[in-house]
Structure 1
Amino acid sequence: INQLMREKRLGVLMLQETHMDGERGQEVEAAFSKRLKVFCSGNPTSPHTKEGVAIILNKEHVNVNNTEQTEIVPGRAMLIKMNWHNGRKLNICVVYAPNVNGSNGHENAEFWKTIHQYFEQNPSKKPDILAGDMNVVESGMVDRLPAHNDPEEATEALDNL
């Protein structure tokens, strides 16, 4: 991560399926404390074996002072509020949505509904940037090979967000 961020001159890196809890995040940050600031959220019951999201900031390119972290769905959705240019703040959200299983998109849809509800209740935290592994596509005929559509329940829930 350190080498990638240095060589590509990345200011922000958003990761999914990290299998990393706060303790491991602190270890990574300690090893590269001159360059990196690590924010992570692990699965609450199995942080080293499944799920996990992280946002890593490169101190050489972005201001990390007073950055705030919020877990929306532990191990699956996390938000940071960071300093941007001219005194502005930037909200960045990373997600790792549940998989769609065949024609069953219920768990994926419920995830997006939870995220939507969180931002409805916390409008000042709505993300300027949302990225990650959505595990659903809106147009399966274009974005899947072999072509197939994901369940409408899941695609509509993401679209409503």
Structure 2
Amino acid sequence: MDGERGREVEMAFSKRLKVFCSGHPTSPHTKEGVAIILNKEHLNVNNTEQTEIVPGRAMLIKMNWHNGRKLNICVVYAPNVNGSNGHENAEFWKTIHQYFEQNPSKKPDILAGDMNVVESGMVDRLPAHNDPEEATEALDNLKILTNLHDGWRDTYPDKKAYTFHQTATGSQS
């Protein structure tokens, strides 16, 4: 979703929704990009701040939460690990890591999106295989810096359940 499409969606649902988005900088009409859509009926969207960390790939919003507290949500669409043997994915995580090192007050409370890497290929992929160590290590370093945890994996350490299914190959992650 690019900025133009984000404005269209927000105008169509302006009573209920607030749209924050970052489209791909060179191909704004591709499937790439990130967005956060907030429901105004359930959330106070006033004074919500948006920051692009990596245009079209990583965006942060800082919003009102509860009792005067703020909530930082970072959404990502990471590069695929397959094309560059994980190097491009790792560099993406290192860029985000550097951003939060330089802006510690903006560290996310929530990180969501398409990571395009799994930390345990033996549990998180079918057929089982590990992703390049450079990429998984870079994501792990970001999690350590931001004190984030994989809530699903912490709750279900051995459960195999997949959200992505590639029809052509039958692979899942």
- Please indicate the TM-score interval, normalised by the length of the shorter structure: 0.7 to 0.9
Identity between Structure 1 and Structure 2 (%): 97
CA change 1:21–1:37 in 2 (3 A) is same
After TM superposition, give the deviation of residue 50 of structure 1 in Å: 3.7
2:11 is the alignment partner of 1:30: yes
Segments of 5+ residues of structure 2 without an aligned counterpart are 141-173
Q: Deviations over 1:100-131 (max 9, x none)?
A: 11780000000000000000001110001011
The CA distance in 1 between the partners of 2:49 and 2:8, in whole Å, is: 19
Q: Which has the higher contact order (CA 8 A, sep 6+)?
A: 1
The CA distance in 1 between the partners of 2:10 and 2:60, in whole Å, is: 18
1:114 match: secondary structure: helix
Query: Quick check: 1:65–1:83 contact (8 Å CA) kept in 2?
Result: yes
List structure 1 runs of 4+ shifted beyond 4 angstroms.
Answer: none
The CA distance in 2 between the partners of 1:122 and 1:94, in whole Å, is: 16
CA change 1:90–1:103 in 2 (3 A) is same
After TM superposition, give the deviation of residue 99 of structure 1 in Å: 0.3
Give the alignment's Cα RMSD to 1 decimal: 1.0
The CA distance in 1 between the partners of 2:100 and 2:14, in whole Å, is: 32
1:87 match: secondary structure: coil
Q: Deviations over 1:30-68 (max 9, x none)?
A: 000000000000000001014100000000000000000
The CA distance in 2 between the partners of 1:51 and 1:70, in whole Å, is: 17
1:155 match: secondary structure: helix
Query: Quick check: 1:103–1:150 contact (8 Å CA) kept in 2?
Result: no
Query: Quick check: 1:53–1:94 contact (8 Å CA) kept in 2?
Result: yes
Name the structure 1 match of 2:98: 117
Query: Quick check: 1:103–1:151 contact (8 Å CA) kept in 2?
Result: no
The CA distance in 1 between the partners of 2:11 and 2:36, in whole Å, is: 15
The CA distance in 2 between the partners of 1:77 and 1:53, in whole Å, is: 7
The CA distance in 1 between the partners of 2:5 and 2:112, in whole Å, is: 22
- TM-score normalised per structure 1: 0.85
Segments of 5+ residues of structure 1 without an aligned counterpart are 1-19
CA change 1:53–1:102 in 2 (3 A) is closer
